Structure 1
Amino acid sequence: MKIVLIGYMGSGKSTIGKLLAKKQNLPFKDLDQEIQIAEGMSISEIFSKKGEIYFRRVENETLKNLLALNEGFVLATGGGTPCYADSLDAMLNCADAVSVYLKTPLPILCDRLMNEKGVRPLLSHLNTREEMLEFVGIHLFERAHFYNQAEVIVETANDAPKEVVAKIVERLL
């Protein structure tokens, strides 16, 4: 089985993904890391040197290549992955994959992301919590249509990562 985690940045895809992979005895994969390995440069470098359109094309190809593998894993995607090209369709139409949306409330996302601005180039220009709330709120509104098509939707709220993993495992049974 392939478990594909989707959700906005800061929703816990990497943290939850690693714990879930361990619990399910599956390897953990991070789509951004796979792209960085394939391209030989960081995501920030790809954006600055080749642009977002190039990045989204490589992201889509890398996702499809992973989904075509004859092995199970837990995959943490980027926040925008299901929103571009036919990436969401690829996830939903992969017979041995299940998509899981980590649905995290806007205030919690903003609190987490305010603490991570330094490592998230998309957010570096946001100086106040109000700016963060507006920026993330707009993105969530735009992306909700894609995220909500996931086969499993897990409300994360203030749950500890282990509790979120337990919810996912329960829903996968």
Structure 2
Amino acid sequence: MKVILLGYMTSGKTAVGKSLSKKLFLPFIDLDKYISEKEQLSISEIFKTKGEIYFRKIEHIYLKELLNSDEKFVLSLGGGTPCYAGNMDLIKNHPKTISIYLEATIPTLVERLQKGKVRRPLVSQLSDEKLVEFVAKHLFERRNYYQQATHKVQVNDKPISTVVTEVRILLH
């Protein structure tokens, strides 16, 4: 089984993924970290030096590589991964894959992003007002892809342990 977690920035994909992988006794893979290791560059450096089109191409290649491996794992995608290069179709059509959309409201996402803005190059320079606008627009554009996941779990105001329990219930 390959468990794929998807959702917007700060929806909890990494935190939930790490905890879930321990409970399921499966390795945890963060797609962005996987790409960074393979490319020997940070995601920011890839964007700066090679551009977003290059990044989206290799993101697709590495996602395919992971899905086609014999390994079982919990995989956390980047927020945009499902929206490019047919990646969501790849995930949906893979026979041993279960995808879970960690769904959060705009206010929840904005609140979480405000706390860690400096670590997020896409939003670090935005005012609070512009941040709300940015998240709302992005979420509107991406929601259709996210909604195609096998399951969805609401994450607003829930501790990680509760979200992990809800995901585990869906997997059985």
Same fold, judged at TM 0.5 (above): yes
Match of 2:157 in 1: 158
Q: Does 1:131 align with 2:133?
A: no
Q: Deviations over 1:146-170 (max 9, x none)?
A: 0000001111111100000011111
Structure 1 residue 116, shift from structure 2 partner: 1.2
Give the number of aligned pairs.
172
Q: 1:1-173 to 2 correspondence within 5 Å?
A: 1-128=1-128, 130-173=129-172
Q: CA deviation at 1:171?
A: 1.0
TM-score of the pair, normalised by structure 1: 0.98
Q: Secondary structure at the match of 1:58?
A: helix
Structure 2: any 5+ residue segments left out of the alignment? none
Deviation at 1:125, TM superposition (A): 1.8
What secondary structure, in the 3-state scheme, does the structure 2 residue paired with 1:153 have? strand
Distance 2:93 2:112 in 1: 32
Percentage identity across paired residues of the two chains: 48
Which AA in structure 1 matches 2:130?
A: E
User: CA RMSD of the aligned region, Å?
Assistant: 0.6
**C-alpha separation between the residues in 1 aligned to 2:14 and 2:150?**
19
